[in-house]
Amino acid sequence: MRSDAIKKGSTRLPHRAMLKALTLTDAEMERPFVAVVNSKSDLIPGHIHLGDIAEAVKAGIRMAGGVPFEFNNIGVCDALAMSHLGMKYSLPSRELIADGIESMLIANPMDGAVFIPNCDKTVPGMLMAACRVNIPSIFVSGGPMMAGKFEGRRIAGSDLTEAVGKYSKGEYDDAQMKELEDHACPGCGACAGMYTANSMNCLTETLGLAFPGNGTIPAVVSERRRLAKETGMRIMELIKHNTRPSDILADRAFENALRAEMAIGCSTNTLLHLPAIANELNKKIDLGYADKISRETPQLCKLNPAAAAYIEDLHSVGGVSAILKELYNHGLIDGGAASVLGISFGEMLANVRPADGVVIRRFEDPWRGEGGLAVMRGNLCPDGAVVKQGAVLENMLRHTGPARVFDSEESASEAIYSGKIQKGDVVVIRYEGPRGGPGMQEMLTPTSMIAGRGLDGHVALITDGRFSGVTRGACVGHISPEGADGGLISLIEEGDRISIDIPSRRLELLVDDETIERRGQNWQGPPDRKISGYLKRYAKMVSSACEGAILKD
C-alpha cells in the first residue's frame, strides 16, 4: 500500500507516533488510508453543507474497512466574486486547487482519495489533481440547489442578474427586487440551472469517475448522503484493484464526455476544463475535435438558462444516465468505456429508463440537430472561439452589426446599464483573456444586463474573456488569440462591422487587410493592469483559452 511509506518498518517509528497523536490505533495502521478531499467552505452556498457529505463518505470508508483522513482545499464562489476584482482569481484558482491537492497527497501518502467538489473551479481543479497524482480516486459532489420561487414561477441565478437590467429600465421595483433577493436561492447547493458547476459535476459522471446521480441528485435530499456513503465504500474496491484515473480516462472517456456535453447543453467553460484535465494525462482535446463532436451530436436537453427546466427536473426523469442511454442506443456513446462502478458504460446503461421525451428529448426529436456548444473560426479567432449555441435565439444565430468597443468588462457593463447600447450593436470586450485580464473573468454582468434590458434578441457580444454558465444569447467568448497577445480583437475600432454566423461557425471583422495592417503597426499593446502577486505570476505562465488556459512550464 502507498501509505506503507509512513507506517511500515522500524525507520517509520516517528511517523507512527505522529499518526497515534491523531488517535489511530494499531489495528487502523494495518488498514488502507483514504484521503477525503473536501472543498467545504462557509463562503460558498454550494459548499456550506459539504461537512455533512464528508461525514457520510467517511462512514462509508469505515464500513468498508478503511481509515479516512479529511482535509480541505480553497474555493471561489463565482457568484460572489462577480463584478469586482475577485473574479480575476476564479479561473486561476483552478491551478491553486490542483497544486494544493497534489502537494497534500504526495507529502502525505494515501492509498486512495475521495474528492468532494461542487462549484465552479473546484470540480476541474480536483479532476486535474486526481489525474496528476493518479491514485485510486472517486468523486461525489455536493449536488445542485433547488430552484427558487418568484411571482409564482421557478427561478435561478440567471434571473437575478437579468433583474438588475430590468430594474435599470424601471420594469422591476424595489419590492420585487427584495422578493428576488429573499427567495431566489432557497438553500445549499450548486445554482439550479445548467451552469458551470452542474455541467462539470454531470461530466464527472460521463468521464466514469463518479456514480450515476452525481450531477443531478439535489443537495438537500437524503439520497445525496446515501450516494456519499456508497462512494466511500466504493473507494475501497478501487484501492483493492488499484484502479486509477489513468485506467478510466482513456480517449473514449473524453469522447463520451464531449458527446454528453453537447447533448446536455453545458456551459462554455467546459471547453476550458476538459482540455486542462486531459492535459494532465498528456492527452490533447483541441477545439476542432470538440466542434466535430458537436456537429454529430444532437442537443437532447435544454435547461435553465436556455429553457424553463432545471437540474431537479433532469434528475426526476433519470438524470445524466437517461441522456447517455439515448445517445448509446444510437451509437454515440462508447459502451466499452470504464467507470468507477467496475463495469462498462454499456452494462451500466442496460437498465436505465428511456428518455421521457420532454425534459430529455428523444434522438429523433431533438432540441436541435447539433450540440449545445459550437466552435467559431474566422479572422477574429483563427485559433477558435466558443458559443453556447443552444441558448441563442433563432434570429440571432446570424447577426452583423457595428462594434461598440470596450477595454474592460466594467466599462462595457456601465454602458449597457446606462442605456448606451442600441439594437443591432455588437459589444466587444477585449483584454479580458487568460493573460490580459488576467484570469479571464466571466462576463455574466454585461450579458445578463443585455437580456434584462430586453436586448437579448437584438445585441451580440464577443470577448476574449469567458462566460458564466448562466449566460444566454449571441455571446461568443474564448476568442483566441486574445487581445493581450496581439489578436485581431485588439485592432477593432468603434463602428467597425462585425459578422457572426453561428451555423457556418464564422466570426469576421469586416475591415480590409490594408486597414488592419496599418492599425497593427500603430498598436501600442494592451493596457497596463498593474497586477501583482499570484495574478502576475499566472499571467506570465498561462496559455491561450484554446489550450484550456493551462499553465506552461
CA–CA separation, 111 vs 105, rounded Å? 10
In the three-class reduction of DSSP (H, G, I as helix; E, B as strand; rest coil), residue 6 is classed as helix
Query: How many residues belong to the chain?
Result: 553
Instruction: State how far the Cα of 292 lies from the Cα of 396, in Å rounded to an integer.
Output: 22
CA dihedral sign, ordered 193, 196, 200, 206: positive
CA of residue 423 relative to chain centroid, distance: 31
Give how far Cα 426 sits from Cα of 18, 382, 478, 483, Å. Answer: 62, 19, 16, 17
Ranges of H-type helices in 171-286: 174-183, 196-207, 222-240, 245-248, 251-264, 270-279
Write the CA distances from 153 to 70, 106, 172, 180, 184, integer angstroms: 40, 49, 16, 11, 11
Distances (CA, A) of 425 to 46, 400, 447, 515: 36, 8, 13, 22
Q: Are strands 33-38 and 112-116 parallel, antiparallel or unpaired?
A: parallel
Which one, of 204, 196, 207, lies nearest residue 269 by Cα? 196
Residue 297 near residue 266 (C-beta atoms within 8 A): no
H or E element: which one contains 451?
helix 444-452
Give the active site residue among 93, 294, 468, 490. Answer: 468
468 given a catalytic annotation = yes
Is residue 149 within 8 A of residue 310, CB to CB? The reply is: no
Question: Do residues 551 and 535 lie in contact, with contact meaning Cβ atoms separated by under 8 Å?
Answer: no
**Alpha-carbon span 551 to 538, nearest angstrom:** 8
Alpha-helix runs per DSSP H in 297-382: 311-316, 319-328, 345-349
- The 8-class DSSP code of residue 442 comes to B
Q: What is the largest CA-CA distance in the chain?
A: 78
CA distance 241 to 235: 10
Give the integer Cα–Cα distance in Å for 228 and 210.
Answer: 10
C-alpha 551/C-alpha 125 separation (Å) is: 13
Backbone angles phi, psi at 378, to 5 degrees: 140, 180
Q: Which residues on adjacent β-strands are paired with residue 510?
A: none
Write the DSSP assignment of 54-75 as a string of letters.
Answer: HHHHHHHHHHTT-EEEEEE---
Q: Active-site positions?
A: 468
